[in-house]
Amino acid sequence: MDLEAEFERTVAAGQRVEPRDWMPDGYRKTLIRQIAQHAHSEIIGMQPEGNWISRAPSLRRKAILLAKVQDEAGHGLYLYAATETLGADRGDLTEKLVSGRQKYSSIFNYPTLSYADVGVIGWLVDGAAICNQVPLCRTSYGPYARAMIRICKEESFHQRQGYELLMTMMGGTDAQRAMVQESVDRFWWPSLMMFGPPDAESANTERSMAWRIKRNTNDELRQKFVDMTVPQAEKLGVTLPDPALKWNPERGHHDFGQPDWDEFWQVVGGNGPANKQRVEHRRRAHEDGEWVRAAAEAHAAKRAVREDVA
Ligand SMILES: [Fe+2]
Ligand SMILES: [Fe+2]
């Protein structure tokens, strides 16, 4: 009872819960699920953009894209490491991902059809990720909050590189401008879906807010993203494909339309355009990496023996 009171006090005071502290089972399980889902998203998110590394239009674009995709791998690693502080096993989480028992962000189940998608993903998808993740720098679980601080710094670079790429294309030919607009048309609604279902339908929001794992609701974050993105779209010279989008002076926010939530649930349920391909690719990469893991373990075992002798 004392432990529980201490936990409640820590969370209510806005302090951090650390791995050595007692925590309720539900808190631990919720965190493992959320952080694992987040880690899987970083790793699966390497695929849509990785698709364009070999076809980058210049050495400079290739270097930027390579760096970005490698950052995402690093984000996955920080986050898997954070789940391990809660007693989760990384191998087990990967198994859950490749067998479809754990999810990742719905956005990565959409294909990347042109190089403009690299820019639009940086601008909109990493932009939405920033809105979601900045409040997580103050989440109640210490290792998660600290991982998020590092990740957010890199996400700002991701967003800027995307926006800069799009600015360059918009200053190019009519065909390039059309390519950017076409990509924005495809990615706008799926980007809004990244914040999850409307608050009224979000099963976990209330509990997560009470535990201060989550700091803002899905709808609050979606609004923040729209307000942040509209002036950027104007500056870029693209049209966001939503006829309902307009400034509401009374609310001091933009009004906007609802994404197609049936499509969202289809994608979350495994039936998006690229779900099977993404998971299959991840499974193959995991299997192909078996010998690397075996070699690393053998090396560590040998070294342990050597250090014992010395
Ligand atoms: Fe990331
Ligand atoms: Fe990113």
Number of residues that this document lists for the chain: 310
The owner of tokens 């690397």 is: 292
Cβ atoms within 10 Å, residue 63: 11
* Confidence (pLDDT) at 246: 97
Per-residue confidence in pLDDT tens, the chain, 310 aa = 699 999 999 999 999 999 999 999 999 999 999 999 999 999 999 999 999 999 999 999 999 999 999 999 999 999 999 999 999 999 999 999 999 999 999 999 999 999 999 999 999 999 999 999 999 999 999 999 999 999 999 999 999 999 999 999 999 999 999 999 999 999 999 999 999 999 988 877 788 888 888 889 999 999 999 999 999 999 999 999 999 999 999 999 999 999 999 999 999 999 999 999 999 999 999 999 999 999 999 999 999 998 887 7
CB 32 within 8 A of CB 83: yes
d(CA 156, ligand 2 centre) in Å: 8
d(CA 306, ligand 1 centre) in Å: 38
CB 177 within 8 A of CB 237: yes
Query: In this structure, which ligand is nearest to the CA of 128?
Result: 2
Tell me how far the alpha carbon of residue 283 is from its chain's centroid: 19
d(CA 290, ligand 2 centre) in Å: 27
Pull the structure tokens for residue 115.
């190089």
* Confidence (pLDDT) at 1: 65
* Confidence (pLDDT) at 123: 98
The owner of tokens 């201060």 is: 212
Which residues are within 8 A (CB) of 78 and not within 5 positions of it... i.e. 6 or more apart?
A: 147, 150, 151
d(CA 61, ligand 1 centre) in Å: 18
* Confidence (pLDDT) at 139: 93
Phi, psi of 272 (to 5 degrees): -75, 175
Cα 272 from Cα 279, distance rounded (Å): 12
DSSP 200: G
β pairing state of 253-255 and 246-248: antiparallel
Closest alpha carbon to 163 in 232, 112, 242: 232
Query: In this structure, which ligand is nearest to the CA of 122?
Result: 2
CB 109 within 8 A of CB 268: no
* Confidence (pLDDT) at 202: 81
d(CA 2, ligand 1 centre) in Å: 38
- DSSP string of 137-167? GG-SBHHHHHHHHHHHHHHHHHHHHHHHHHH
Pull the structure tokens for residue 245.
């989008």
Cβ atoms within 10 Å, residue 291: 9
Pull the structure tokens for residue 209.
């807010």
Query: In this structure, which ligand is nearest to the CA of 42?
Result: 1
